[in-house]
Amino acid sequence: MSNALKPVATSLLLIFVFGLIATPVMALRPGQSAAACDRAAIGAAQRYGVPETVMLAITRVETGRHKNGALNPWPWAINIAGKGYWFQSRHEAQSFVFKHFMDGARNFDIGCFQINYRWHGNKFRSIEEMFDPQMNADHAARFLLDLYKEFHDWTAAAGAYHSRTQWRAQQYAAKFRDVAARLPNTPGAEQQIDPARRATSLGTTAMPLTSGTSTQLGSLVPTGVATGTSFLALN
């Protein structure tokens, strides 16, 4: 390719990957950003039949930060090579991903439910679309529903969302149960589960997952690729 054509090719690549000619995205104010993941989680739960508690807990396990005594998810969260980053705005987060993408990065997690670009990017029209809280949550809900159909248990599905390696899945599922049990009453939620009952209502069935060192992740990577890291520490 001639040097004269390289800028054109690069521009076309960015348009395809980042959707730079897409409809302008409405910026969210800080207060709106803080609630974006919960709104998206509830919307996706109602649309696909996933319990709202499951969605609300997973977005907190994936991107939750403790602030003013509460654990809240954040939509402008990125994980690259196991290191988590939170940004104040969607623009800052997308610019960060843009830089790393141009440097060759493909294995990174985006948004409220930490959807991995390498393995799930083909489900979206662009990386920009992956940043949309509702589209991010919708994909997570569809994936969780598929896992529930396999395991017939929401806790097991949550574990498999993270990993199919048994100890990793069980570790994640334990954190998921703990976060679910501590969820505050969320305005607009279709159904609130009493904290004392949440763990059992979500299910505690033993997970029929793989054992040993072979790894198959749910939301992150397929069989044989090392596991990623959630934003919320699992220990």
Distance from CA of residue 103 to its chain's centroid? Answer: 23
Distance from CA of residue 40 to its chain's centroid? Answer: 11
What would the two tokens of residue 136 be? 């991010």
Pairing relation of β-strands 77-80 and 108-110? antiparallel
User: 3-state DSSP call for residue 54?
Assistant: helix
Cα–Cα distance measured from residue 29 to residue 34, given in angstroms and rounded to the nearest whole number: 9
Low-confidence ranges of the chain (pLDDT < 50): 5-17, 20-26, 186-201, 204-235
Cα–Cα distance measured from residue 210 to residue 15, given in angstroms and rounded to the nearest whole number: 40
What would the two tokens of residue 72 be? 């809240």
Q: Check: pTM over 0.95? Answer yes or no.
A: no
User: 3-state DSSP call for residue 76?
Assistant: coil
Cα–Cα distance measured from residue 11 to residue 165, given in angstroms and rounded to the nearest whole number: 40
pLDDT (0 to 100) of residue 67: 84
What would the two tokens of residue 30 be? 């800080």
Contacts of 138 (CB under 8 A, 6+ apart): 40, 43, 44, 47, 48
Which of these, 100, 142, 134, lies nearest to 26 by C-alpha position?
Answer: 134
User: 3-state DSSP call for residue 70?
Assistant: strand
pLDDT (0 to 100) of residue 2: 52
Report DSSP state, residue 3.
T
pLDDT tens digits, residue range 151-201?
999 999 999 999 999 999 999 999 999 999 999 764 433 344 333 334 334
Task: Assess contact for 34 and 65: CB atoms under 8 A.
Answer: no
pLDDT (0 to 100) of residue 181: 94
What would the two tokens of residue 123 be? 């489900």
pLDDT tens digits, residue range 217-229?
334 333 233 344 4
